[in-house]
Amino acid sequence: MKLNTDMQVVKINDYLWEIPPSEKPGMLVPARIYASAAILGAMDRGVFDQVTNVACLPGIHRYALCMPDGHWGYGFPIGGVAAFNPEDGVISPGGVGYDINCGMRLIRTDLSLSEVQPKLELLMTELFRRVPAGVGSRGFVNLSRRDFRDVMRQGAGWCIAKGYGWEEDLERIEERGCLDGADPTHVTDYAVERGINQLGTLGSGNHYLEIQVLSDKGIYDRATAAAMGLTGRDQVVVMVHCGSRGFGHQVASDYLKVFEKAMRRYGISVKDQQLACAPFRSPEGQDYFGAMNCAANTAFANRQVITHQIREAFETVFGESARRLGMQLIYDVAHNIAKVERYRDGEWLVHRKGATRAFGPGSPELPACYRGIGQPVICGGSMETGSYLLVGTDRAMQETFGSTMHGSGRTMSRAQAKRTVRGEQLMRDMKQHGILVKAVSMSGLAEEAGLAYKNISDVVGTVDHAGITKKVAELKPIGNIKG
């Protein structure tokens, strides 16, 4: 098999490959990639370079990992996972990403396709009106600086207290929608300016709000699906993909500059300046961690306010309360984050960059309703192909620090996609295939064409076969809102 690298890649099994530390000077641990042979063969050279660069970072534990949706990113590959010793390891913004706590949220309904289809145009128009999308979009929640500091500290809980959601929503959000250790004193004024008006907004790029349908044929594990409120029969659900917007981006930008200087003070050298880092226990490391948690909590709050807006849109269109429509939250999970987590072999600072937590059954961090089945994993595909719902496994806890992939993963740059596809034609084609699209920008829509992404079924099949996540259900789009 021809690969886009000169490094030796050793096959562990059909879905796991390893690059030994001998392949790059400075590697402290092996680099491992979860992929089928076909996916591995198509991976860009940057994945191999970046995952082995990560393997050189101080304090890294066991492996540098990359998931099958892996592709070139900033610092870490997107799809990258790495755990560090909190006492002598580092924290790196390049291992979290610019959009801190970019994540996924899935909401069920009791509605069927036959009930939604006649009102789909009206529903999409109402959602597009209520959920601001696009670069620089502003939300309807007016915050003072004091309010915004409370959002940074309290996350989704602040929203619930203000009436933007239901108390039981918190049980079904990773960490109940609030990470400990958020410290607004380490957030710059400019970051606050960028974020204070963006609560309840979708943003741009690959962020979306999607109406999806679950068919009986799309259920792989009926009992597990039922435990999450999914029964089939063309049931309609709503998926949201977004994060901390300009606020998180500015936090990342601010601390990358800080860390570039800090590395010289601590005598740290990296293979790539995009991996700028600082010792986790250092003042700089703790300052970033406090600011990052502020951005993460704001992202949880952002998705919570969007959920409130979605419920209100459904109420307007269908003339019933969201509770009568069965609009319970299934789960909300981050995929750009660094967290201190406890495993069988100790406590580690786990970076997930375009990778999702996938804790197995019995994990005490999970809500009681999911402790018997494992954590729900929401995997977004391209807007043309559909998405998947999975659950975490014991094997993930043993092999990947309870982590798995987050989506399908790009195969084509945004610029190349725009050269290949016209947004207007793509919108017409999708409508012919039964997918109604509302978009702020036609060029932005073209960037997210299905041909720019890996085959989602192949990516999901890889983690399922590897045993680090278990397939539960497949979801097909019928309406998509794009920034």
Which residues pair with residue 212 across a beta bridge?
A: 237, 477
Residue 14 CA to residue 113 CA, distance in Å, equals: 38
95 is in an annotated binding site: no
Ligand-binding site membership of 409 (annotated):
yes
Ligand-binding annotation for 70, yes or no, is no
Q: Does 407 show up as a binding residue in the annotation?
A: yes
Q: Is 99 annotated to bind ligand?
A: yes
CA–CA dist 140, 185 (Å, integer): 25
Name the catalytic one among 61, 308, 406, 465. Answer: 406
* Distance from C-alpha of 94 to C-alpha of 90, rounded to nearest angstrom: 11
71 is in an annotated binding site: no
Closest by CA to 55, choosing from 83, 28, 88, 80, is 28
Question: 208 and 449 in contact (C-beta within 8 Å)?
Answer: no
- Residue 86's SS3 state is coil
E strand intervals along 255-328: 278-279
The answer to whether residue 71 is catalytic is no
Establish whether 15 is an annotated binding residue. no
397 annotated to bind ligand:
no
Contacts of 186 (CB under 8 A, 6+ apart): 287, 288, 290, 291, 294
d(CA 411, CA 272): 22
433 marked ligand binding residue: no
Any binding-site annotation on 207? yes
The strand pairing partners of 448, in sequence order, are none
DSSP string, 365-377: TS-TTTTTT--EE
Nearest of 397, 378, 395 to residue 83 by alpha carbon: 397
**241 annotated ligand binder:** yes
239: β partners: 106, 210
Does 482 show up as a binding residue in the annotation? yes
Instruction: Give the span between the Cα atoms of 62 and 40, in whole angstroms.
Output: 21
Run of H or E residues at 283: helix 283-318
406 is annotated as contributing to ligand binding: yes
Please list, in sequence order, all residues whose beta carbon lies within 8 angstroms of the beta carbon of residue 360, skipping any fewer than 6 positions away: 374, 375, 392, 393, 394, 395, 396, 397, 402
| Contact criterion met (CB below 8 Å) for 343 and 397 | yes
Is 104 annotated among the ligand-binding residues? Answer: no
The answer on whether 208 is annotated among ligand-binding residues is: yes
Whether residue 408 is annotated as binding a ligand: the answer is yes
On whether 308 is known to bind a ligand per the annotation, the reply is no
**Residues flagged as binding site for Mn(2+):** 99, 207, 241, 335
**Residues flagged as binding site:** 99, 206-210, 241, 335-336, 380-383, 387, 406-409, 482
Q: Give the active site residues.
A: 406
**Residues flagged as binding site for GMP:** 206-210, 335-336, 380-383, 387, 406-409, 482
